[in-house]
Amino acid sequence: MRARVLIRPKAGILDPQGQAVERALPALGFSGVSSVHVGRLVELDVEDVAQLPSMCEKLLANPLIEDFEIIEGIAAH
């Protein structure tokens, strides 16, 4: 099954990448944008989706600083 893992900086931890993007958008004429956060996206084919949470905790994310969200059954690449 193809799955997608979304990895985000944990709430409360300074996210300078999100802040930089948030500052850049008004400079391009896009207004009304706030709370921008930048994370990572991992897509993978996996035989046993039950292993995904463990994969995330051990390698794909660092649970100390990042939250992850698993989306199962996305369309093939």
Partner 1 sequence: MKFGVIRFPGTCDDVDAQLAAQRVGEAELLWHRDRDLKGVDAVVIPGGFSYGDYLRTGAIARFAPVMEEVIEFAHEGGIVLGICNGFQILCEAGLLPGALLVNDNLKFVFRQVTLDVVSHDTAFTRSSPAQLSIPVKHTTGRYYSPTPVQAVLKYAAGQNPNGSQDDIAGVVNEAGNVFGLMPHPEHAVDALTGSTDGLTIFDSIRATLESRVVPA
Positions 12 through 71 that interact with partner 1 (CB under 8 A): 13-14, 16-17, 20, 59-60, 62, 64-65
Minimum CB separation of residue 75 from partner 1 in Å reads 24
How many chain residues touch partner 1 (CB under 8 A)? 10
Minimum CB separation of residue 10 from partner 1 in Å reads 9
* Pair 74, 52: CB distance under 8 Å: no
Residues 6 or more apart in contact with residue 7 via CB below 8 angstroms: 39, 40, 41, 42, 56, 60, 61, 66, 67, 68, 69
User: How many beta carbons lie within 10 A of that of residue 19, not counting itself?
Assistant: 13
Residues that bind partner 1 (CB under 8 A): 13-14, 16-17, 20, 59-60, 62, 64-65
